[in-house]
Amino acid sequence: MTGMLPYGRQSISEDDVAAVAAVLRGDWLTTGPQVDAFEADLARWTGGVGVAAVSNGTAALHVAYAAAGVGPGDEVVVPPMTFVATASSAVALGAKIVFADVDDETFCLDPAAAAAAVTSRTKVVAAVDYAGHPADYDALRKSVEGSDALLLADAAHSIGGTYHGRPVGSLADLTTFSFFPTKNLTTAEGGAVAALDPEILKRARRFRGVGVVRERDDLRFPDEGGWHQEVHEFGLNYRLPDVLCALGRSQLRRLGEFTARRSALVARYDEALADVDGVLLPNRRSWADPAWHLYPIRVLDGRRREVYDRMRAAGIGVQVNYIPVHWHPAFADLGYRRGSCPVAESFYSQQLSLPLYPGLSNADQDRVIDALTAALRVGSVRSAA
């Protein structure tokens, strides 16, 4: 048997290697000119919205919530169909998580469920662009009307996507990105926060820099000397170093190519699996141009575990994305209960992510398709017998 196909994988070119090597030979490894340049490059993908680069996707969420002023006594509305960090990073600031269910087509946050979850204590409503498909941000805007809540887009899956022709990164008050190797571009570890309000962006940049203030006009004691710096609010060291920003800049030059290849692979899956019994394929709304981080199918008739095991045994690195966040023991111990978000929970019981990444060849994708149809056929033959 040939080697295991991963469900996601980075795509590194010789240009990427050269970009990193050039920084290693230079004067800056940590915070230097590549950081500003990477942030400027990212802003070209967010429609000009300002960006703060940070050390990883979880840090991006923590920084965004902190910049929004989330603290003890506040509530943050989160869908359960996401990685745990969308919720846990707000808990780390003292917030209470209110889980709101997803819609039954895109499995992004349901605007009606979000509206029902908003109270006078809601500080942030956090949508997640599940699998790279943007949430319905115009409807979500209406869900927070009449409140002081900010809208956050967890766009870990969706950089390069659009909603009604508008780029991801410009759709919410705050947007967070992840550049983990399996994501749509990589800085090894890394992330970013985009903010419509320049003051919130300023708060984000300070928080990711341990809260240090150096700007003379903002210092309380500006005449101490050229070395002087102050901390007015506590932050953390979430800086993304120059060497990784150089990698990110090189990767961004190919983001359009990456997105196009992902879309082509999705189209091939859609065509090959259209008439396969026992699975449902991912939906796409007419107003969305997804970035397609995942290809999430649904395996019907309670067979997800069986199909997962068979495909893994065949060397296909399928994955499940995600365990509903409120099912994790850390949240169960806080009193959250199963059954509270039935759409997300039903989807989880069926969900299976097929391999999807720019370097996946057509031949390897055909291998995935053959393994899936074979796994489904085994069960069907057994049932017929």
183 is catalytic: yes
Report residue 270: phi and psi, to 5°. -55, -45
β partners of residue 77? 98, 125
Contact 47, 169 (CB under 8 A): yes
Place of tokens 């006078």: 120
Place of tokens 């989880």: 348
Report residue 336: phi and psi, to 5°. -75, 145
Helix, strand, coil in percent for the chain, rounding step 5: 40, 15, 45
Place of tokens 């709304």: 285
Q: Would you tell me how many other CB atoms lie within 10 Å of the CB of residue 329?
A: 7
157/37 Cα distance (integer angstroms): 22
Contact 59, 203 (CB under 8 A): no
| Catalytic-labelled residue, pool 96, 123, 142, 183 | 183
Contact 291, 158 (CB under 8 A): yes
Q: Would you tell me how many other CB atoms lie within 10 Å of the CB of residue 277?
A: 10
Which of 287, 290, 294, 269 lies closest to 279 in space, CA to CA?
269
* Residue-wise DSSP of 243-307: HHHHHHHHHHTTHHHHHHHHHHHHHHHHHHHTT-TTEEPPP--TTEE---S-EEEEE-TT-HHHH
Establish how many alpha carbons lie within 13 A of residue 224's alpha carbon, considering only the half-sphere containing its beta carbon: 11
Helix 14-24 to helix 242-252 angle (10° resolution) is 150
Q: Would you tell me how many other CB atoms lie within 10 Å of the CB of residue 4?
A: 12
Q: Which residues are catalytic?
A: 183
